[in-house]
Chain A
Amino acid sequence: MSLQTDLIGLLGTDRVLASGLDRYLYGKDAGVYRGEVTVVALPETTEEVAEIVRIAARHGVPVVPRGAGTGLAGGAVPLGGGVVVATTRMNQIFEIDAANRCAWVGPGVINLDLSRAAEPYGLHFAPDPSSQSACTIGGNVANNSGGPHCLAEGSTVNHVLGLEVVLADGDVLVVGGKAPDPIGLDLRGILVGSEGTLGIVTKALVRLTPNPPDVRTLLITFDSVEDAAATVSGVIAAGLVPAALEMMDQRMTQAVENWLGAGLPTDAAAILLAEVTGDTPAVEAEADVIRAVATEHRAREIRLARDEAERALLWKGRKSAFGAVAQAAPDYYLHDTVVPRTKLVETMREVYEIGERYGLTMMNVFHAGDGNLHPLMMFDASEPGALERVHAAADELVELCVRNGGVLSGEHGIGKEKRDLMHLMFTPVDLDAQARIKEAFDPEGRFNPEKVLPAGSRCFDFGRPIPEGAWI
């Protein structure tokens, strides 16, 4: 029997998509790569996922998990055909354990839906990628996603207590649990961030975080990008870890404001969005520190969000930034790299220079607090040669960040996008260790092949040492 017939036998015709157009629509995520899909399966239970994996093994085809497809690195894009396992229907919240501040959820649960469901208990799921209204917990786990508020709270890996995972032979593995310190080898850290290359997450036990008692959100306007960047370094140097510290440059602010109409200053060279959370006296004091540092660096205006509505509006603007860039050009290429905060000012200057050199408009919006840059290069893919210029500029960007002591990927994952740049960050020994883990979990290379690890990771054929002073 054919692969498709087997899958239909398991899931019925409604949950197996195989027409040309259906497969085309699943051939891409939010990034720039398009892949080849053989068939799409939409399981609803762990057992169905296990059976899909067995069926795929029988037919010798790869399996590529997919959540909401908001990934930006091509992680959910099958490169050489295969079964796309879309988890969108596995969106059940099985249990919210308010006393122990955790929840068992299906991988297809949308990040924001979980926080909404936890709201009555005064809890939320702390990792808040800007895509949180759409992306899934499974995708967050697989990419170890972060967000503006991960500056203080840490990225997804700090919020995963347990996982249920379907392995390459269809077995179901459960790791971790509610116990604070599980015995045995702790595999959670290996599975979180593995981008669907080791198994399919079918359930996650995630930590829920109490909502802060009080919050202050400041919108700070600057006449130069350097001043904004220096303020970021200054705030951190003052010993503060704000809940969030985000930056947008002028072009970005203009695009967002054009859509949102929130009264953002479109004539400012850069704006910072700073948020502090905690008890009232503490947030007052911290907000004062930020004000002082900003003023010292020639802030033009410091606006305090008056109420929750204004705060929500400011965050909506920040979190819609990637979408808003479409107003500037038909295509964009987003990079996700990290530099030490102390190098922020000079890195930003060089980022704009690279843009100019390649004739590409750069728009910037990023998690300034942890030095996680998201330079966006605007282009029109239908223009001949445009994509090549973008790729060349992108490679320069990564090299720039690594040269300045940064790392490859802040939060969006390696996927296909940065796979071949891994050698910039890792020694052959590092890559070999990672490849061994992959082999142990997935000996036949069935899960999301050709992702994350560059070809040849196992045979010492790459080699550049890790840059000095790398900040991870």
Chain B
Amino acid sequence: MGYVTAEAPTRVELATCVQCGLCLPHCPTFRLTGLETASPRGRLMAMSAVLEGFAEVDDVFVEIIDFCLGCRACEAVCPGLTPYGRVLEGARAEIATQHPTPSRRLRRWVLGRALATRGFVSAATAVAAVVQRLGATWILPAAVRRSFTGLRPLAGRERWIGRSAEPVADPLGTAALLAGCVMDPWFSSVHEATVGLLRRAGYRVVVPEAQTCCGALAAHDGHASEARRMARRNVAAFAGFDLIVADAAGCSAHLKEYGHWAGDVGGAMAERVRDVTEVVAELIADGRLPRSELPRGPVAVQDPCHLRHAQRVVEAPRTILRAAGYEPVEIDQDAMCCGAAGTYAILRPDTSLELGRRKADQVRAAGSTVVASANPGCEMQLRSLLGPAYRVAHPVELYWEAVVEMAGRVPAEVDR
């Protein structure tokens, strides 16, 4: 039967892989198993096999594709410029269409609908907050229990969506912030740091009311029409802003690919999207944000895959941490995935745990109890494995603390 949807990987895309194998050692699942069938080259060849009619979208194919973390380490090292992330989403869309198992149907609804519905996320957050306060994690399904322990305290968090804030320096322009599906209710202190820093540098910050979840999780899991719908809604919500900032690496990476998900208007929006670390690092370099003289000791830098591999942003978080007075410590020269990988932590808990343990060991070996990670999924993964003796935070949070401290107190001018 081959491929049946318009999302399918194309011959032109797949032909960019010349099977040189240079990506193999960078692939976590290949490193764990030594299997060609668990390597980027193997997965691309499997996609070609279906396209050429040598194979079907059957159970073997599904396993080959589903085992992939979507970390895109392979894409970053591929000298042939193979668009791995894109063809993976295409292959997943085929699987979701040809094998709509109950689990996939549920995921289509959760990732494609529920996350885009603010009321649902709020209700779920309220329930989770109660579970968290009571320490009643036993009522959760086993697969989510560990990730759950990596959450920040949920109760009493404020929301940023729909608000705006004026600059507290020479005006530089307006920045629009992506609130995110769970960033806003679960990680609002990251937003607080982002908004504080942007205002401090001279930006008016707007968090448009009409926006929704970026759609990354739906897209990665193959729910393409839902992902397109979310992309279109955001293109409308963010129209007219010159700078669009996201402070979760998975979201900024996906927004930058709106050209695929929402056509030309999406492409035009994508060009204006930056990850917060890129923006803040530039503002520091321009002297619009200060550098702290106070040494704060080492910080282990964890590179989220969708920042480093998908967006090729490597230096920015380090620049920010240095400006905060920290001394960045490298933990993994290959920047291998921590195993969180969005929904992967829940769908394939064993592999996720194995990779997470490796990463946690690397952090422990680095000799720092502070860890910087610019993505919520990685943060939860690390916190759940490192325990309370370690502090895991977004680089802009660590920097914002330093900025506030440099001002001696929370300055009135940066209060909302």
Q: Are A330 and B15 in contact (CB under 8 A)?
A: yes
21 contacts between A and B (CB under 8 A): A21-B64, A24-B46, A25-B45, A25-B46, A28-B45, A29-B19, A70-B20, A86-B34, A91-B34, A108-B34, A110-B25, A133-B22, A258-B81, A259-B81, A260-B79, A320-B22, A326-B79, A327-B80, A330-B15, A330-B16, A332-B18
Q: If the complex has contacts A30-B18, A326-B18, are A42 and B34 also in contact, measured as CB distance less than 8 A?
A: yes
CB distance from A460 to the nearest CB of B (A): 38
Q: Nearest CB to that of A66 among chain B residues?
A: B36
Interface string of A3-46 (1 = CB under 8 A from B): 00000000000000101111011101110000000001010000
Q: If the complex has contacts A21-B55, A112-B25, are A42 and B79 also in contact, measured as CB distance less than 8 A?
A: no
Interface string of A121-138 (1 = CB under 8 A from B): 000000000010111000
Interface string of B23-61 (1 = CB under 8 A from A): 111000010011111000110011001000011001011
Q: Are B21 and A131 in contact (CB under 8 A)?
A: yes
On A, residues with C-beta under 8 Å from B are 17, 19-22, 24-26, 28-30, 40, 42, 68-70, 86, 88-89, 91, 108, 110, 112-113, 131, 133-135, 255-256, 258-260, 320-327, 330-332, 382
B78 CB-CB contact with A under 8 Å: yes
Q: Are A69 and B18 in contact (CB under 8 A)?
A: no
Q: If the complex has contacts A70-B20, A131-B22, A325-B18, are A20 and B60 also in contact, measured as CB distance less than 8 A?
A: yes
**How many chain B residues have a CB neighbour from A under 8 Å?**
34
Assembly CA distance A42 to B79 (angstroms): 29
Q: Are A21 and B22 in contact (CB under 8 A)?
A: no
Contacts of A133 in B (CB 8 A): 22, 25
Q: Are B37 and A22 in contact (CB under 8 A)?
A: yes
Contacts of B42 in A (CB 8 A): 25
Contacts of A331 in B (CB 8 A): 15, 18
Contacts of A22 in B (CB 8 A): 37, 60
CB distance from B330 to the nearest CB of A (A): 14
Q: Nearest CB to that of B19 among chain A residues?
A: A30
B82 CB-CB contact with A under 8 Å: yes
Q: Are A88 and B80 in contact (CB under 8 A)?
A: no
Assembly CA distance A255 to B16 (angstroms): 13
Contacts of A382 in B (CB 8 A): 11
Q: Is the interface of A mostly helix, strand, loop or mixed?
A: mixed
Assembly CA distance A408 to B2 (angstroms): 42
Q: Nearest CB to that of A135 among chain B residues?
A: B21
Q: Nearest CB to that of A84 among chain B residues?
A: B36
B300 CB-CB contact with A under 8 Å: no
Assembly CA distance A259 to B25 (angstroms): 19
Assembly CA distance A330 to B15 (angstroms): 5
CB distance from B311 to the nearest CB of A (A): 14
Q: Are A134 and B25 in contact (CB under 8 A)?
A: yes
Assembly CA distance A133 to B334 (angstroms): 11
Would you list the 4 A-B pairs with minimal beta carbon distance, nearest first? A326-B80, A88-B34, A323-B79, A330-B15
Contacts of A88 in B (CB 8 A): 30, 34-35
CB distance from A265 to the nearest CB of B (A): 18
Inter-chain pairs besides A70-B21, A260-B79, 8 sampled, C-beta below 8 Å: A25-B36, A30-B20, A86-B34, A89-B33, A131-B21, A324-B79, A324-B80, A330-B15
Q: Nearest CB to that of B312 among chain A residues?
A: A261
Contacts of B19 in A (CB 8 A): 28-30, 69
Q: Are A259 and B79 in contact (CB under 8 A)?
A: yes
B17 CB-CB contact with A under 8 Å: yes
Contacts of A21 in B (CB 8 A): 37, 46, 49, 55, 58, 60-61, 64
Partner of B79, one of A30, A40, A134, A320: A320
CB distance from A7 to the nearest CB of B (A): 15
Assembly CA distance A15 to B127 (angstroms): 43
Q: Nearest CB to that of A71 among chain B residues?
A: B21
Contacts of A259 in B (CB 8 A): 79-81
Contacts of B24 in A (CB 8 A): 68, 134
Q: If the complex has contacts A42-B34, A88-B34, A88-B35, are A326 and B46 also in contact, measured as CB distance less than 8 A?
A: no
Instruction: Pick from A86, A113, A322 the residue with the most CB of B within 10 Å.
Output: A322
Contacts of A113 in B (CB 8 A): 25
Partner of B55, one of A24, A42, A135, A323: A24
Q: If the complex has contacts A24-B45, A24-B54, are A327 and B81 also in contact, measured as CB distance less than 8 A?
A: yes
Contacts of B58 in A (CB 8 A): 21
Contacts of A258 in B (CB 8 A): 81
Q: Are B21 and A30 in contact (CB under 8 A)?
A: yes
Q: Are B82 and A326 in contact (CB under 8 A)?
A: yes
Assembly CA distance A36 to B49 (angstroms): 14
Assembly CA distance A134 to B23 (angstroms): 7
CB distance from A113 to the nearest CB of B (A): 8
Q: Nearest CB to that of A27 among chain B residues?
A: B45
Contacts of A86 in B (CB 8 A): 34, 36
Q: If the complex has contacts A22-B37, A22-B60, A259-B79, are A68 and B17 also in contact, measured as CB distance less than 8 A?
A: no
Q: If the complex has contacts A20-B60, A259-B81, are A323 and B35 also in contact, measured as CB distance less than 8 A?
A: no
Contacts of B80 in A (CB 8 A): 259, 323-327
Q: If the complex has contacts A17-B37, A25-B36, A256-B79, are A326 and B17 also in contact, measured as CB distance less than 8 A?
A: yes
CB distance from A117 to the nearest CB of B (A): 13
Contacts of A19 in B (CB 8 A): 60
Assembly CA distance A323 to B21 (angstroms): 9
CB distance from B151 to the nearest CB of A (A): 34
Assembly CA distance A86 to B33 (angstroms): 11
Assembly CA distance A269 to B20 (angstroms): 26
Assembly CA distance A40 to B33 (angstroms): 14
CB distance from B26 to the nearest CB of A (A): 8
CB distance from A287 to the nearest CB of B (A): 28
Q: Are A17 and B22 in contact (CB under 8 A)?
A: no
Assembly CA distance A26 to B41 (angstroms): 11
Assembly CA distance A75 to B42 (angstroms): 18
Contacts of B23 in A (CB 8 A): 134
Contacts of A17 in B (CB 8 A): 35, 37
Assembly CA distance A332 to B79 (angstroms): 14
Q: If the complex has contacts A24-B45, A30-B18, A321-B79, are A69 and B36 also in contact, measured as CB distance less than 8 A?
A: yes
Assembly CA distance A327 to B23 (angstroms): 16
Q: Nearest CB to that of B78 among chain A residues?
A: A323
Contacts of B22 in A (CB 8 A): 70, 131, 133-134, 320, 323
Contacts of A135 in B (CB 8 A): 21
Q: Nearest CB to that of A116 among chain B residues?
A: B333
Assembly CA distance A112 to B24 (angstroms): 13
Q: Which of B286-317 touch A at CB < 8 Å?
A: none
Contacts of B15 in A (CB 8 A): 326, 330-331
Assembly CA distance A259 to B312 (angstroms): 12
Q: Are A68 and B37 in contact (CB under 8 A)?
A: no
CB distance from A76 to the nearest CB of B (A): 10
CB distance from A48 to the nearest CB of B (A): 13
CB distance from B93 to the nearest CB of A (A): 19
Contacts of A42 in B (CB 8 A): 34-35
Q: Are B61 and A323 in contact (CB under 8 A)?
A: no
Instruction: Pick from A25, A28, A135 the residue with the most CB of B within 10 Å.
Output: A25
Q: Are B81 and A131 in contact (CB under 8 A)?
A: no
CB distance from A408 to the nearest CB of B (A): 22
Q: Are A322 and B34 in contact (CB under 8 A)?
A: no
Assembly CA distance A356 to B191 (angstroms): 59
Q: Are A323 and B18 in contact (CB under 8 A)?
A: yes
